[in-house]
């Protein structure tokens, strides 16, 4: 992500289950890729493992398609509110 320090979780190295796939600023990110990635499961995992004060979301990449982001509506509203306040 441009302008944001991001780091990968430790799942591939036998890390803890509550570590996200990617931690980027306040974002607690679960990533799924494949022909039919489990979108709801990815979001549920992000939400259930997300520490207080962070924003859980899932990045989904279906085969041969553009990736997209999924998040809970209340988190999206909080995210937009904070962005708007900083922009103005």
5: helix, coil or strand? coil
Q: Tell me the C-alpha distance between 16 and 66, whole Å.
A: 29
List the structure tokens of 18.
Answer: 């509550």
Give the pLDDT confidence of 38-65 residue by residue, as tens digits.
Answer: 999 999 999 999 999 999 999 999 999 9
CB 56 within 8 A of CB 47: yes
Give the pLDDT confidence of 20-31 residue by residue, as tens digits.
Answer: 788 878 899 999
Q: Where are the alpha helices (DSSP H) in the chain?
A: 39-49, 73-87
For the chain, give every domain's residue range: 6-83
Of 72, 80, 70, nearest in space to 31 by CA = 70
Is the whole-model pTM more than 0.75? yes
């Amino acid at each position: 992500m441009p302008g944001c320090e991001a780091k990968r979780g430790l799942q591939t190295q036998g890390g803890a289950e509550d570590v996200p796939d990617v931690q980027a600023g306040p974002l607690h990110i679960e990533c799924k890729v494949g022909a039919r990635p489990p979108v709801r499961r990815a979001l549920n995992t992000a939400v259930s493992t997300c520490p207080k004060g962070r924003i859980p979301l899932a990045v989904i990449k279906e085969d041969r398609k553009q990736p997209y982001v999924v998040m809970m509506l209340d988190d999206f509203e909080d995210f937009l509110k904070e962005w708007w306040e900083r922009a103005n």
